[in-house]
């Protein structure tokens, strides 16, 4: 099945699965619908809290909006998420910083402009391998295959590109070794073992990093905090201008709910872990999830970090033409009160 066909199926699934959920109630006001799409991982807990935890409904009620039917659909990578947003199949989508930058670059000034409602989380991405011969990225050979959510366009793929730029001065040197696999599929593929598995390495986020490192022979090659020289915004919540203009009050409710969800997740990580485990039917125990959420490199935050730093990298490698003068150019007004850089 072709990549384009996969994307069309993903969009159709979003539209079919969450587009007609508002019940028709005789004599009652039809509930507002809000459709979120996201990938899978602990980085997305604030969105789960908005929906499964009822925080979006609370914020909507404060603004006098009445009943809101909110749904979350999980997709396999940034490509399907952005396709769902641009096609109108979803209202909001969580995406890593590279997706925000490249979408803004392509759409700013247009009727379907894409910006971030706010930031969601930061967390380390880890490149690990089950190949015993690979100790650094310089050891990868033509026999290796590195799993990333989407080739070339995912944050994970760009972490590898930045590492390659530092190693060889050529960010694209290892691009041909990457293959597009969602995190659960990547761990499942690697579990076949070295010599049998179709992939030999994976650039993962939690809890899939922890799952992958439990596989026989798995060991860490690189950490994003080392590659990027420190923490930077990883996950953002995106929306088009059309979504913003369609119902500005509902848009404000979503923005308020995102900030509130971040506060709630930080205040009680155990409760956040319980909610995420139930929403995602995760195999990890609550204690394991709390340990992962308590890693110093993992944070839920509404503050944008090092946006211009990463934009400059995308300019260097040719993925983005526009220059970013101020991080606020990439965010809707709902985030402009934050302290960012």
Number of DSSP helices (H) and strands (E) in the chain, helices first = 14, 11
For residue 292 the two structure tokens come to 């992962």
Do the Cβ atoms of 236 and 94 come closer than 8 Å?
yes
For residues 114-120, average pLDDT:
97
Handedness of CA 277, 280, 284, 289 (dihedral sign): negative
pLDDT the model gives residue 23: 41
Ordered strands of the 32-38 beta sheet:
68-74, 32-38, 92-96, 235-240, 114-122, 299-300
Q: How many CA atoms, within 13 angstroms, populate the side-chain half-sphere of residue 168?
A: 12
> Cα–Cα distance between 222 and 163 in angstroms, integer?
9
| Pairing mode, strands 235-240 and 114-122 | antiparallel
> Cα–Cα distance between 143 and 162 in angstroms, integer?
22
For residues 164-180, average pLDDT:
97
pLDDT the model gives residue 10: 52
pLDDT the model gives residue 6: 52
**Most confident among 50-64, 144-158, 304-318 (mean pLDDT):** 50-64
Among 91, 103, 99, 97, CA closest to 50: 91
pLDDT the model gives residue 20: 41
Task: Output the DSSP codes for 253-292.
Answer: HHHHHHHHHHHHHHH-HHHHHHHHHHHHT-SS-HHHHHHH
pLDDT the model gives residue 2: 47
Q: What is the tens place of the pLDDT at every residue in 278-297?
A: 988 888 999 999 999 998 77
pLDDT at 43 over 70: yes
Among 153, 159, 12, 23, CA closest to 84: 12
pLDDT the model gives residue 340: 85
Q: How confident is the model at residue 26 (pLDDT cuts 50, 70, 90)?
A: very low
pLDDT the model gives residue 168: 97
Where do the domains of the chain lie?
3-123+234-335, 131-227
CATH 3.30.70.580 fits 3-123+234-335, yes or no: no
pLDDT > 70: percent of the chain: 91
Tokens 């996950």 map to which residue? 235
Q: How confident is the model at residue 27 (pLDDT cuts 50, 70, 90)?
A: very low
For residues 248-270, average pLDDT:
97
pLDDT the model gives residue 250: 97
- Segment among 16-20, 96-100, 275-279 with least mean pLDDT: 16-20
Average pLDDT of the chain? Answer: 90
- Rounded to two decimals, what is the model's pTM? 0.81
Q: How confident is the model at residue 8 (pLDDT cuts 50, 70, 90)?
A: low
> Which stretch of DSSP H or E encloses residue 156?
helix 155-168
At 114 the three-state DSSP class reads: strand
For residues 185-194, average pLDDT:
97
Contacts 24+ apart (CB under 8 A), 283-290: 283/211, 284/207, 284/210, 284/211, 288/207, 288/210, 289/42, 289/207
For residues 143-166, average pLDDT:
94
Do the Cβ atoms of 28 and 236 come closer than 8 Å?
no
At 165 the three-state DSSP class reads: helix
Q: How confident is the model at residue 19 (pLDDT cuts 50, 70, 90)?
A: very low
């Amino acid at each position: 099945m072709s990549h384009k066909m996969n994307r069309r199926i993903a969009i159709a699934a979003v539209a079919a699965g969450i587009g007609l959920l508002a019940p028709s109630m005789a004599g009652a006001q039809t509930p507002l619908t809000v459709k979120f799409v996201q990938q899978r991982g602990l980085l997305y807990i604030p969105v789960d809290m908005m929906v499964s935890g009822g925080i979006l409904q609370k914020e909507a009620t404060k603004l006098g909006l009445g009943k809101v039917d909110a749904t979350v659909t999980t997709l396999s990578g940034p490509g399907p998420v952005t396709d769902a947003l641009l096609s109108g199949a979803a209202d909001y989508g969580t995406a890593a910083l590279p997706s925000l930058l490249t979408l803004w670059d392509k759409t700013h000034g247009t009727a379907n402009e894409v910006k971030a409602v706010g930031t969601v989380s930061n967390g380390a991405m880890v490149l690990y391998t089950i190949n015993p011969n690979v100790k650094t990225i310089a050891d990868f050979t033509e026999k290796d295959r590195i799993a990333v959510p989407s080739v070339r366009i995912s944050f994970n793929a760009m972490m590898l590109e930045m590492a390659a730029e530092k190693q060889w001065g050529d960010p694209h040197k290892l691009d041909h070794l990457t293959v597009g696999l969602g995190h659960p599929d990547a761990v499942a593929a690697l579990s076949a073992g070295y010599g049998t598995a179709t992939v030999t390495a994976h650039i993962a986020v939690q809890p899939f990093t922890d799952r992958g490192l439990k596989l026989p022979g798995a060991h860490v090659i690189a950490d994003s905090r080392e590659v990027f020289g420190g923490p930077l915004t990883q996950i953002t919540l995106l929306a088009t201008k059309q979504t913003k203009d369609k119902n500005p009050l509902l848009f404000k409710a979503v923005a308020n709910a995102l900030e509130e969800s971040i506060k709630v997740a930080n205040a009680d990580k155990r409760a956040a872990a319980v909610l995420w485990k139930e929403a995602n039917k995760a195999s990890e125990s609550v204690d394991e999830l709390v340990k992962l959420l308590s890693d110093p490199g993992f944070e839920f935050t509404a503050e944008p970090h090092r946006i211009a730093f990463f934009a400059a990298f995308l300019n260097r490698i040719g993925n983005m033409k526009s220059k970013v003068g101020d991080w606020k150019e990439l965010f809707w007004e709902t985030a402009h009160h934050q302290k960012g850089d």
